Amino acid sequence: MAYEVQTRVFEGPLDLLLQLITSHQLEITELSLSAIVSEYVSYIDALTETDIDMTSEFLLIAATLVQLKARHLLPGSEGFDLDEELALAEERDKLLSRLLACLTFKDVAAVLLHRLEAAERWVPRTVGLDPGIEAVMPEVRLGVTLEQFHAIAEVALSETLIDPDLDHFDFDLPSVDDAIADLRARMASEAVAEFDALVSHCDRPIEVVAYFLALLELVRWGMVHATQETADAPIKLVHNPAPTNPEGIEMIARISEWGNS
Amino acid sequence: MDVASTIEAILFVAEEPVSGAELSQLLEAPRTEVDEALLTLQDRHQTGPSGLVVRNTGGGWRLYTDPEAKPYLERFAATERATRLSKAALETMAIVAYKQPISRGQVAEVRGVDSDRVLRTLERRGLIFEAGRAEGPGQAVLYSTTNLFLEKLGLSSLAELPPLADHVPPAGVVDVLERPFRPEESSNESTN
Amino acid sequence: MDVASTIEAILFVAEEPVSGAELSQLLEAPRTEVDEALLTLQDRHQTGPSGLVVRNTGGGWRLYTDPEAKPYLERFAATERATRLSKAALETMAIVAYKQPISRGQVAEVRGVDSDRVLRTLERRGLIFEAGRAEGPGQAVLYSTTNLFLEKLGLSSLAELPPLADHVPPAGVVDVLERPFRPEESSNESTN
């Protein structure tokens, strides 16, 4: 039997084991421990995770699996220490109960999500007091000393470094610096252009934003002259190959430096 | 204006659920009278024509819009949408909800993954809080769920959480999990 | 749910008066029907038992508390919970204090949570104010702390805020936020 390492989405050692067992359930009637152990271990080989905690957890589970497998392969129970046997059985039960607990909470989490979504249909009011009553609202109390406030700031601003919440980050941010390079090249060849035409290839608003920021930079450096008659009118651009303001001269120098390096 | 209407006005301006005890203090009325008035108010919105409902969630009472109005509110700009919780965050939240107070180490044990980050996210969202410290060496921080957690789930107390026993995997699944570990079947295995 | 009740739900969550025209658009109902429903709603609150009233003020309709409830609301406003700043508010306050002027988007990035409501509360409490607008597209509102904030912390100027520890360079976060908007530095990076 060949075991192919597919790219699975798993959340950790326990989750992986759970997935290996439950996914094989459909394909194989007789699921062997050997199959699971081989596949599990192959994941360890493929592990690029540098997290020590996770790696050790992986190894711990793998060790238990390998031990169980070794025990299974040897016929009979002769030559086995009873204490060792019991310890191994205990390990197996512990692993099993962890798998069960894991499954249970996965199931209940789905129910909680459902409840969260259902509860969202009720909308509370968040506007607060009526304007007239606000006037008599007593003065706010910070309730913290300067030292405590400082400590809150330390935590609030440091946690983001250790723990950036990247869920909503758009990592595929267009580079303004690429946009500058592209705009410079195209303005140099076209000499005169309209902004809309230059961004006609952009799919996303954020890309247009990047080009607009790039344009502002080029204007600031004096490399491009931009005009717009009214707010809705097209933005017309004229190339200036030899800017005379200090910023532009410096930028030209820097850009040619990068070109040489 | 009767007591029920006064309570309605208070709940209207409150930015989180208000408990019966608090209402009783504000109105200088006995608790029984407040409880009765709350039921009257709830009944008024339920039976009469109204776009609002009174609910007991998150350790107190609060006014909400009728769920039927939700589609219109979504079109109305003012409704805020909370950013979705990840699957990992939901699982961690479930573990804390049922095992509270619980340390991060215990959460990690159940999930099999280091859960510090997720716990911090949940704490920052106001869904869990540091409820205390474990006794003994290390004095690990213990987490519990907040009233906001209850409110977000539409629960009035933790007792209303669905019983965990209902979510234990069925016998068939347990069997599948156990099968590879059963010594009897090892004889079927040849080599590998 | 009838039109009047739907309107009630909309006015309930609205932060400002909502015009008849706006309601008509939201409900996809003719203006005459909306006007009629508004009168029905107003009548319901006036004649039935209710702690709320519907008023037409400042170019739109709005739900208010019944003036009779005012003494109780003033007491509610003076309670511990109304005068104390929440943990979230303090955290937001700290971010604004150390990173001012800062936009709501940047605050949300640092906190990892949507922070509009907290910022509004802090503004209403006179602790922060709209100090200006960001340059560039969007022209986001930028918040700074007020003199009241300094007063509350017993400071004579912002310079007296204790500096953040060196080992916590929040510049890293700001850098991530600003990178797409700083062409020169990102160019430098790419050449490194």
> In this predicted structure, which of B110-124, B136-150, C20-34, C178-192 has the lowest mean pLDDT?
C178-192
Confirm whether C32 is domain-assigned. Answer: yes
Average pLDDT (B82-99) is: 85
Average pLDDT (A231-254) is: 76
Confirm whether B187 is domain-assigned. Answer: no
Give dist(CA B96, CA B88) in Å, integer: 12
Average pLDDT (B153-176) is: 84
Confirm whether B13 is domain-assigned. Answer: yes
Q: What is the percent of chain A with per-residue pLDDT over 70, rounded to a whole number?
A: 70
Q: How far is C81 from chain B (nearest CA, A)?
A: 10
Q: How far is A207 from chain B (nearest CA, A)?
A: 24
Residue B153 and residue B92 share a domain: yes
Residue C160 and residue C96 share a domain: yes
Query: Which has the higher per-residue pLDDT, A245 or A235?
Result: A235
Confirm whether C125 is domain-assigned. Answer: yes
Touching C: which chains, 3+ CB pairs < 8 A? A, B
- pLDDT tens per residue, range A47-91: 665 556 667 777 778 887 777 777 766 655 556 677 777 887 888
Element (H, E) at A236: strand A236-239
Interface probe for A, chosen from B42, B52, B167 (most Cβ of A below 10 Å), is B167
- The band of B150, judged by pLDDT with boundaries at 50, 70 and 90, is very high
CA of A48: how far to CAs of A42, A228, B23, in Å?
12, 53, 57
Confirm whether B172 is domain-assigned. Answer: no
Q: Do B192 and A35 touch (CB under 8 A)?
A: yes
Across the A/B interface, how many CB contacts are shorter than 8 Å?
Answer: 169
Q: Closest CB to A57: pick one of B69, B112, B169.
A: B112
Q: In the Cβ-directed half-sphere of A245, how many Cα atoms lie within 13 Å?
A: 11
Those of residues 42-71 in B touching chain A at CB distance below 8 A are 53, 55, 57, 62-67, 69-70
Residue C100 and residue C45 share a domain: no
What residues of A are in contact with residue C154 (Cβ under 8 Å)? 146
DSSP category for residue B184: G
Residue pair B38/B61 in contact (Cβ under 8 Å)? The answer is yes
Q: Is the pLDDT of residue B70 over 60?
A: yes
Query: Which has the higher per-residue pLDDT, A209 or A116?
Result: A116
Q: Is the pLDDT of residue A214 over 90?
A: no
Residues 6 or more apart whose Cβ sits within 8 Å of residue B174: A100
Q: Which residues constitute the domain of residue C134?
A: 87-167
- pLDDT tens per residue, range A179-212: 888 888 888 888 888 888 888 877 777 777 778 8
Residue C119 and residue C51 share a domain: no
Which of C25, C44, C70 marks a domain boundary?
C70
Q: Do B111 and A14 touch (CB under 8 A)?
A: yes
Residue C54 and residue C124 share a domain: no
Residue B146 and residue B100 share a domain: yes
* Nearest residue on chain A to C187, alpha-carbon basis: A177
Average pLDDT (B21-25) is: 93
CA of B122: how far to CAs of A33, A163, B33, B125, B160, in Å?
37, 12, 37, 5, 21
The answer, for C39 touching chain A at a CB cutoff of 8 Å, is: no
Q: Is the pLDDT of residue A253 over 50?
A: yes
Which of C70, C103, C129 marks a domain boundary?
C70
Residue pair A153/A144 in contact (Cβ under 8 Å)? The answer is no
- The band of A6, judged by pLDDT with boundaries at 50, 70 and 90, is very low
Residues 6 or more apart whose Cβ sits within 8 Å of residue C152: A140, A141, A142, C127
Q: Closest CB to B76: pick one of C13, C79, C114.
A: C13
What residues of A are in contact with residue B53 (Cβ under 8 Å)? 122
Interface probe for B, chosen from A57, A60, A65, A72 (most Cβ of B below 10 Å), is A72
- The band of A167, judged by pLDDT with boundaries at 50, 70 and 90, is very low
Give dist(CA B53, CA B47) in Å, integer: 10
Q: Do C187 and A158 touch (CB under 8 A)?
A: no
Confirm whether B158 is domain-assigned. Answer: yes
Residue C54 and residue C118 share a domain: no
What is the number of domains present in chain B? 2
Q: Is the pLDDT of residue A30 over 70?
A: no
Interface probe for A, chosen from C90, C95, C181, C182 (most Cβ of A below 10 Å), is C90
Residue pair B44/C49 in contact (Cβ under 8 Å)? The answer is yes
Which of B40, B70, B100 marks a domain boundary?
B70
Confirm whether B160 is domain-assigned. Answer: yes
CA of A12: how far to CAs of A18, A43, A67, A104, in Å?
10, 11, 21, 16
Q: Is the pLDDT of residue A164 over 70?
A: no
Residue B7 and residue B66 share a domain: yes
Give dist(CA C151, CA A108) in Å, integer: 49
Which residues of chain C have a pLDDT value below 70?
Answer: 80-83, 137, 166-192
The answer, for B73 touching chain C at a CB cutoff of 8 Å, is: yes
Residue pair B133/B140 in contact (Cβ under 8 Å)? The answer is yes
Q: Which two tokens stand for residue B8?
A: 């309605």
Residue B111 and residue B61 share a domain: no
Residue B150 and residue B92 share a domain: yes
**Predicted pLDDT at A168:** 38
Confirm whether B181 is domain-assigned. Answer: no
Place of tokens 């699957």: B87
Residue C100 and residue C63 share a domain: no
Tell me the CATH number at C115: 1.10.10.10
Q: Is the pLDDT of residue A2 over 70?
A: no
- pLDDT tens per residue, range A97-110: 888 888 888 888 88
Residue B57 and residue B8 share a domain: yes
What residues of B are in contact with residue C27 (Cβ under 8 Å)? 72
- ipTM for the complex? 0.71
The pTM of the full predicted model, rounded to 2 decimals, is 0.64
**Predicted pLDDT at C188:** 39
Query: Which has the higher per-residue pLDDT, B42 or C88?
Result: B42
